[in-house]
Every structure is written in C-alpha cells, then in structure tokens.
Amino acid sequence: MKKIFTSMVVALMMMAAPAQAQLSYGIMGGLNMTKMSYSEDVVNESDKTGFFIGPTINFTIPVVGLGIDASALYDQRESKIGEETIKTQTIQIPVNLRYGIGLGDMASVFVFAGPQFGFKVGGDKTLAEEANVAKEEWTMKSSNLSLNLGLGAMALSHLQVKINYNIALGKTGEFEYTDVVTNTKKVTGDAKANSWQVSLAYLF
C-alpha cells in the first residue's frame, strides 16, 4: 500500500510543472451515520451518528482533472451493543485520488476513492458488569483500514462539499461476555463499522 501511494504522488508531481498544479489547505468537518455489523445475532443493531473535524490539503492538476486530497481528522462514532451505547474515538487519515470536471470558473464536481487509516485514541468499554455473575466488554482495535468511495463539488475555489461511503476492510473491534462464576466466555464476536459521511471544508 505504501509503495502504491508513493508511486501515485511521484507521478502527480512529475505532471504538475507543465500543468500548473495547485496546492490548497483548509479545515474540514462533517457527520457520520454508522452501521455496525456484528458476527453474533444476540447483539442488537442500530444506526448512530457521529462527527469528525481536522485539517485537510488538496493537490490538484486543473488541466488533466486529477488530484489527491488528504486529511488528519478526529473522528467519533457511536453504535449500540445490546442496551449499551459505545463511542469509538480515532484519528482518521483519508488519502483519496480524485478526478474532477470543471463547470467554469465558479464550480467543479469530482469523484474520489482511496484508503483511510484509523488509529484508536479511545473506545474500549465495560458494557455491563454484574457482581459475581457476568461481565460484558468491548475492545476496539488499535488501528484499522477502510475504503472511501464518494463524490463532491467545489464552489468559488474555496468551499468544498463531499459525500462518501466508508467501508471497513477488517474488524473494528471485539466484544465478549464472560461468566464470572465459571470464568468462561459465553459469547465472543467482532464487529465492523461502515459509515455514510457528509463533509464541508473551507480551503484557503
């Protein structure tokens, strides 16, 4: 993955000189609508909202319509396991290859896709604990990989709106139910978090 990303960046930089490439930076924020899929049917599912915010950069080659955008986002998502709500807190780094079509000097539209790397900053939780009876726990992975697929629009060269689907490429976390009396795990499983995301960014 690292070699592929490096090759993409080098190729774009080689094309940038004759094409008058543009680099812009700004701040981006948005909302998540997360759907958790569980490996065990005993877990109730429900959609939850969350948010993300952080700096973003955008490297574009206007003549050919290609570009790369990358961000470093504080991301918080919520989901439900049984009757308990859990919050997953991560730093997400999306790196997207994009292709845009200009609609004159005032606006453009683009499609994008790329990997997103996540790193846990919080989210483990003891869901429920009954003394001398049972214990339920949720443990989030320390890092995760997902894929973004989406489209967006740019207005007035500064305002950017995007919508995308973020697809988990591995498990987001694990949960387990332990019988305290016998010290045995009655239920163990894992979960994946897929999200619809809507974002708004201002680029300087």
Residue 60 within any structural domain of the chain: yes
Residue 13 within any structural domain of the chain: no
Residue 72 within any structural domain of the chain: yes
Task: Report the distance separating Cα 166 and Cα 175, nearest Å.
Answer: 22
Number of folded domains in the chain?
1
pLDDT per residue as tens, the chain (204 positions): 556 555 655 554 554 444 467 899 999 999 999 887 777 654 555 567 899 999 999 998 877 889 999 999 999 987 666 666 777 889 999 999 999 998 766 899 999 999 999 999 987 666 555 555 566 777 888 999 999 999 999 998 899 999 999 999 988 877 776 766 666 666 667 778 899 999 999 999
Residue 129 within any structural domain of the chain: yes
Instruction: Give the model's pLDDT for residue 17.
Output: 47
Contact 86, 128 (CB under 8 A): no
Q: Which domain holds residue 91?
A: 23-203
Residue 9 within any structural domain of the chain: no
Instruction: Give the model's pLDDT for residue 127.
Output: 58
Residue 3 within any structural domain of the chain: no
Residue 2 within any structural domain of the chain: no
Contact 58, 66 (CB under 8 A): no
Instruction: Give the model's pLDDT for residue 16.
Output: 45
Residue 61 within any structural domain of the chain: yes
Q: What is the CATH number of the domain that holds 141?
A: 2.40.160.20
Contact 78, 57 (CB under 8 A): no
Contact 180, 134 (CB under 8 A): yes
Kindly report the number of other CB atoms within 10 A of residue 46's CB atom.
12
